[in-house]
Every structure is written in C-alpha cells, then in structure tokens.
Amino acid sequence: MRVLLDEDVHVKVADWLLGKGHDVIRVPSGLKNGRVIELANRESRVLITRDKDFSNRLMYPPHKHSGIVVLRIHPPQLEKLTSALAHLLNEFSDTPLTGKLIVLEETEYHLFT
C-alpha cells in the first residue's frame, strides 16, 4: 500500500509500515491540511493521520480521496498504533482503501464511504 503518514503520527510507525513492505512517505513539516490531502491524492496514497479534521466527511468526502485513516488511539503509543494498524491492514488486505474514510480505534474501526 502507498501511504502518506501525517507529521502527527509517531515517526516509528513509518519504520513499522516499511518493514511490512508498504511504500511510505511522511508529510513535510508544517504543510496545511488542504495541501496534505492534495499530496495524498496526487500520489495515490492513503493518508494516515491523528488529525480529527480529516474525519469531517463534508470537508473531506471519502469518495474524492485515495483513502484516509484517522487514528483515535489514546495515548498514541507505538505498540497500540501498530497493533490497531496490523488488524486493519489484515482486514483490508485484499480491498483497496480508495474512497474510504476509516476512523481507527484501539480495538475497532468505523468505515465511511
């Protein structure tokens, strides 16, 4: 999977995703949300973020994006983040995330299309 990892996500999540064979880049520091989503779409990357603004389906309609995963895991410890992401990626291993908004919690997720 091609991933754009927001700057608000633990930096070691990138290493973990790379270790799983995913193509990962990080959002450049200070990039505004509108530019972040443009970058994700331009490069056909799923955005993984902790920024709850991206869960606003009116501002960021899922069908217009390459996929958005909003992490709602508190505290955002590396082990909790990677465990939740592992379950999600396993669940969607054969399904592209394009056009989907997923709000990922520690033990469950909510899917919006």
What's the pLDDT at 76? 93
Residues 107, 100: contact at Cβ < 8 Å?
no
**Residue-wise DSSP of 53-86:** GGG-TTTS-GGGSS-EEEE--SS--HHHHHHHHH
The single-letter code of the amino acid at 77 is Q
Residues 109, 103: contact at Cβ < 8 Å?
yes
- How many domains is the chain partitioned into structurally? 1
What's the pLDDT at 53? 97
H/E stretch holding 12 reads helix 11-19
In this prediction, the residues of the chain whose per-residue pLDDT falls under 70 are none
Domain holding 94, by residue range, is: 2-112
CA distances to 87, 90, 113 from 27, rounded to whole Å, are 24, 24, 24
CA distances to 4, 47, 74, 84, 100 from 78, rounded to whole Å, are 17, 18, 11, 10, 24
What's the pLDDT at 17? 98
What's the pLDDT at 89? 96
